[in-house]
Amino acid sequence: MKFNRRINPEIKPKKNFITKKRFKEDEIDFNKLRSYRLDRVKKELEKNNLEACMLFDPVNLRYALDTVNMSVYNMHNLTRYCFVPVSGPVILYEYFNCEKLSEHLNLIDEIRPSITWDYFSNGDQANNQLKKWINEINDLSNSYFKTKKIAIDVINGPAVSSLNKIGIEVVDAKLILEQARVIKSPEELKCMKAAIDVAEIGISKMRDELKAGMTEDELWSILHKTNIEHGGEWIECRILSSGERTNPWMQESSNKIIQKGEIVSFDTDMVGPYGYCADISRTYVEGNKFSDNQKKLYLTAVEQINYNSKLIKPGMSFKEFTEKSWVLPEEYYGNRYSVMVHGIGLCDEWPAIRYPTDGGERNGIFEKNMTITVESYIGKVGGNEGVKLEQQYLVGQNNLELMSHHPLEDI
């Protein structure tokens, strides 16, 4: 087994290549950030009596190794992955001719060309390619996971069947990575603060530029532009709606023209600088003059957010929170949001704490240095409009500490 230790310095720009510091870059110790995260992955493997994992999900690759390459493309193509053993070399299997992109990352011991077996890349040679990949995994098994059990996060059916045929058992790596990602380090919190700061620049611009006559897409594009120009990466969804499209919730932005006095609600879902997510929801009214019904919806959403955020303390079980959480009035319950609380990090993360009727009682507790969002959607079943609010928090020593500071509307 080839074992080629790479300890290359950060790639330096060529002569006359001018760069600008990324947002908050000087405040973050990237060596600490990367070492902490990889160590968390290995400890979770050991806790679950596993010797190794193989990661295809670009978000998990980012967490484990801080390596990035065409993240959205690789979310639907199995063309880039990594091998992380508890003991042994960390190997990145890189997309065609892209080996140089991650040479500066010293936690990666070896970079190899990826072996792909999808039909798009290989056509009628896909099965032959799968056999090559199986042989590669078998070689890794003989040296680094002799139990013949490996955790994999995303993989297709033919690969699982082929691994099983040679005696290798595949278990779900999602549990490993979700648990690893739960507790944030100080450097992770700095990255998240940078992402939130960028999102709130965009949110402020959206509020300032909102006017009748613009389309939902035009308003939504302001957040995208702000994210990209500050070193952000992508946006998970495009949930912004206005007027009657705000009820029911979850409608994505469109070319609908925003009218005078209409409510406008949105959810950022923004993967910003350093890959961390800013997940903030706000609701505005065009012209900033709330009707009586709009005020009622908005203040009800504020009440839910405030009540639930004050309830959560480190050490509280998810079950206890579900039992004591704010009771959503019956007239809004049929249109309830999918969760009351969820974890947040590189994207939405475990836990997802649902309403009592949706199986809200879950094993687990709120722990110090978890980061979460507290959600509210208020819209009557059959109603004309709805309000979406969401705040991002750090679980602190004694209670929640607000991380998203763009003010709520003063009505």
Over residues 46-84, the pLDDT tens digits come to 999 999 999 999 999 999 999 999 999 999 999 999 999
Q: What is the pLDDT of residue 23?
A: 75
- Give a yes or no: residue 294 inside a domain: yes
Q: What is the pLDDT of residue 4?
A: 44
pTM: 0.93
- Residues with pLDDT less than 50, the chain: 1-13
Q: Which residues lie below 8 Å from residue 121, measured CB to CB, with a gap of 6+?
A: 77, 79, 129
Split into its structural domains, the chain has a count of 2
Contact 262, 242 (CB under 8 A): yes
114 and 86 inside one domain: yes
72 and 159 inside one domain: yes
Q: What is the pLDDT of residue 144?
A: 97
Q: What one-character DSSP code corresponds to residue 8?
A: P
* 74-123 pLDDT per residue, tens: 999 999 999 999 999 999 999 999 999 999 999 999 999 999 999 999 99
328 and 394 inside one domain: yes
- Give a yes or no: residue 377 inside a domain: yes
298 and 381 inside one domain: yes
- Give a yes or no: residue 165 inside a domain: yes
- Give a yes or no: residue 3 inside a domain: no
Could you say which of 140, 156, 181 is where a domain stops? 181
Could you say which of 181, 205, 221 is where a domain stops? 181
169 and 213 inside one domain: no
Q: What is the pLDDT of residue 411?
A: 86
315 and 336 inside one domain: yes
Boundaries of domain holding 357: 186-402
Half-sphere exposure of 406 (CA within 13 A, CB side): 26
225 and 323 inside one domain: yes
Q: What is the pLDDT of residue 15?
A: 54
Could you say which of 126, 159, 181 is where a domain stops? 181
Q: What is the pLDDT of residue 39?
A: 98
Q: What is the pLDDT of residue 14?
A: 54
98 and 242 inside one domain: no
- Give a yes or no: residue 373 inside a domain: yes
Q: What is the pLDDT of residue 19?
A: 72
Residues in the chain: 411
E-strand ranges in 159-198 read 169-172
- Give a yes or no: residue 4 inside a domain: no
